[in-house]
Amino acid sequence: MKNIREAAVAGIFYPASAGKLKNDIQLFLDSNKPVQEFNNIAGIISPHAGYIYSGNTASFAYNVVKGKNYSTVIIISPSHREYFPGICIYDGDAYSTPLGIVQINKEVRKELTFENNLIFEGVKGHGEEHAVEVQIPFLQMVLEDFTIVPIVIGDQRKEFVFALAEKLSAVMNDQTLIVASSDLSHFYTKAEADKLDSQIERRIENFDYEGLQFDFDSKKCEACGGGGIVTLMKASELKGKNKAKVLSRTDSGDVTNDDTEVVGYLSAVVYGLGIRD
């Protein structure tokens, strides 16, 4: 492997030491176990703030997929640092974190970008982007023998996210997991944030991704990775999996005790009814 995307936010969003990183994630996982078991899972929604703020919330989602057999994990991220029209899948060989290297699934990448002007290979959005990277150490702790498809959405308008959902549904199978990386509202009071974020929670639990996209477009609520959430839900529905459960919703004030300007976090699982459900 020649082209490896090295960790950009280790030591900032999460520990740079492999030992401490493992210990921290294990503590999150041990402390935040959902009471319900889920099967026939298509994907999860997980926040992407620094672990000190969002690790507890994220761990609820990662616990529901812990130990399951996924060979490919498709991570969908917003682009925080640069706008570009379209959707970029990293064109290298692997992503690296302090816990090791995870290879890119080049076959799935090729299928997603084949004869498609909206979805392309490259490095746009991947350079310093944290929203893909912070999901990978959690994945490394709960899964074995998996590859990733790291996707950064440069434009989260409906035409782009729906196009991505259509393509994803064509490559998804029972060994595919989608991770939608997103935080919720930013820098409102705790009461204001709760009002905005509870609207997202309701849309997810009602499996109303059309309504959620409308809310984002009309500024009724906000999530920096909202396009990824909508993409996950639509792609899942196309595969016959149209159930969602919010596992945890918190905000940064729960950690800092400062409720004047908070950032909202949510984790959820998207799944279909199966024999054991």
pLDDT in tens, the chain (277 residues): 689 999 999 999 999 999 999 999 999 999 999 999 999 999 999 999 999 999 999 999 999 999 999 999 999 999 999 999 999 999 999 999 999 999 999 999 999 999 899 999 999 999 999 999 999 999 999 999 999 999 999 999 999 999 999 999 999 999 999 999 999 999 999 999 999 999 999 999 999 999 999 999 999 999 999 999 999 999 999 999 999 999 999 999 999 999 999 999 999 999 998 644 4
pTM over 0.85: yes
* Structural contact between residues 244 and 273, judged by C-beta atoms closer than 8 angstroms: no
Which residue ranges make up each domain of the chain?
4-271
* Structural contact between residues 226 and 186, judged by C-beta atoms closer than 8 angstroms: no
* Structural contact between residues 159 and 226, judged by C-beta atoms closer than 8 angstroms: no
Question: Which contiguous run of DSSP H or E holds residue 238?
Answer: helix 226-238
In CATH terms, the fold of domain 4-271 is Protocatechuate 4,5-dioxygenase; Chain B (3.40.830)
Helix (H, G, I), strand (E, B) or coil at 95: strand
**DSSP tally for the chain: helices H, then strands E:** 10, 12
